[in-house]
Each structure stands twice: as C-alpha cells, then as structure tokens.
Amino acid sequence: MMMKPLGSAAHAMEETIETVIRDAPLFEGGRDVVYGPVSGGISNENWRVKRKDGSGDWFVKVPGNGTEMFIDRDAAMDASRKAAAAGLGPRVHDDLAHRGVEINDFLPDRRASTHSDFADIENCRAAISAYRTMHALPALGLTKTVFDMIDEHAQQVAELGGRKYREDAWLRLNTQLAREAIDASGVDLVASFNDPMPGNFMIGEDGSIMLIDYEYASMNDRCYDLGIWFGEMFFTPERELELIEAYFGEVRPEIISRVTVHKALADVKWSLWSMVQLEVSRLDFDFHKYGMWKKMRARSIMEAPDWATHLRRL
C-alpha cells in the first residue's frame, strides 16, 4: 500500500481524508502520520492512517457521497461499539463520530477474506460462530428489515429519476408475495450484520473470524443474514444445508425456505441500491453491472418452480 504524508493530496478524496486527519484529536493534527487508500469498499472512502514510528495504526471510514440516504451513522456506530465490546469487531474511536466518520484500530494480524477462503468448511464454521455472536448482541438502536430497505431504495430511485429495470413490476409483485408470507409467519428479529462482502470477514492466524463494517447493521430477520451470505459466497445447495445445520443444529424444510426467500430478497435490495449509487456515488465502480447481476440472480430464484413452495412453507 502506497502511504503518503499529510499535505500531498492529489485529488478530492485525498483532500477529504487530509481534512479528517487534521481535525481528529486522535491524530494530533497529523503529526508524524501517513495515509493510504484501502481497496475493496463500494460504499465509502476507506483509508489506513499510521504513525511513522509504528505507535498507531487505524482504519478510517469517510462516508461516501450520498450514503446518508440509506446509512444511519449513529446506528452504525452503535452496532460497531456493541460488536467491539463482544470481541467481534475492532476497537472504535469516537473522534469525528458526530460527522459520520468512523475510526477503528487497524487489524494488522488479520487479513480480509476472499470468496476462495469459504471453499474451506472450517472458515465457513468460523463465520457461523461470528454470526452467532452477532445475533446474540444486545438489541441495536435501529430496526430495519429487508422490506424496509427495499422500500427505501425504491423511493430513492424514483426521487432521483434513476434507472428502473424492465422487470420492475414483476420484481415488486414477487417481493410483495414474499412480504405477505414472512409477515404471516413472523419476523425473527436479531442484531444482524446485513453486509457479508468477503472483505468484511477478517481471518486470524488461528482461523477465527472478526467482522468489520457495521454500517448496514440493524435488527432484522436472522435468516436474512444467512441468506445474503449464502448468495454472496455462491455456496452450493449442499454447502448451504451443512451451514444451516451448523447454525440451527438441524435442517428443516421451513428453514431452507426462509433462507432461500431471504436470499432472493437480498438481491432485490442490492439491485435497487446499485441504481441509487449509480446516481450519487463518486467511487470508481460499475454499479450498473453489479445491479444487473443482482437483479438477474433474484429472478433466477423467483422464477424457479419451487418459489411458490418456499413461500407456502415459511
């Protein structure tokens, strides 16, 4: 990672992080620090800030342009603090929290996972352990189910005059069918992570996993957390059954259905999120391609012959 001294900003995002460094008491006005970008995020501007003498090493998250539309920074800090207290996440520093900037201890003894890491069942079991810890956290200050997220993004796309998918009405119809089925069966609210990008799983040398990036965390159905993770990791049906058993201690048809339905809903949510980001983000990322992929995978689940069966047995 290329680290730069304060005062060498070459573009707007570097100017922003330099302002943060000067303003945060933790960094003492930028004395003896260097900074560099951390790759992998698609919402915010992420940075590593270090003291040259090695006495401090931090991860700094600067809110991405427009993210205030769908991220409650106070709620994110609440989740981060509770996760840190449980040993699930890194230490949180409150400097500039009032401006939405999150500062954590960097985790140099851990590495961000990749999709290939989760081909190993032991890494999957470590992640299940992390999810159990997450779901047992004290109640978070924000309740936001996948349906709340979908409604929010749909309204934002409309307000921004953003692009709509050709199948928009069809997706909305199937989302409503899922909403009615889940409402009838009851929502199992727990403290949920909601954002299982591989880079958010930090693997230690002992094989344990810590979670980072709690900005999408909320009280949500636990099966959403499992469903979105299964989809993100492209698990086979056989691996999904293994992990359902690892989490619940058993495999029942209604659990499989609940996870499957939430997997489809997660893709609907992120496909709409992508259309919002396409309008507001300044990150160099192909949000259109990402959204189309999510939309097509949601269709693949909702168009399958067993979709109606899944809805009936929730």
Segment-wise mean pLDDT, segments of 10 residues, the chain, 314 residues: 86 92 92 89 85 93 82 91 97 91 94 95 98 98 97 95 94 98 96 95 96 95 98 96 98 98 98 94 89 96 97 96
Q: At 290, list the tokens.
A: 């990402």
Q: CATH homologous superfamily for 4-105?
A: Phosphorylase Kinase; domain 1 (3.30.200.20)
pLDDT for residue 1: 67
pLDDT for residue 79: 96
CATH number corresponding to 113-312: 3.90.1200.10
Helices (H), the chain: 12-23, 73-85, 121-135, 146-160, 168-185, 222-233, 237-248, 253-280, 287-302, 307-312
Question: Could you give the residue range(s) of every CATH 3.30.200.20 domain in the chain?
Answer: 4-105
pLDDT for residue 70: 77
Using DSSP's 3-state secondary structure scheme, residue 49 falls into strand
- The residues near 301 (Cβ < 8 Å, ≥ 6 apart) are 260, 263, 264, 267, 307
pLDDT for residue 138: 98
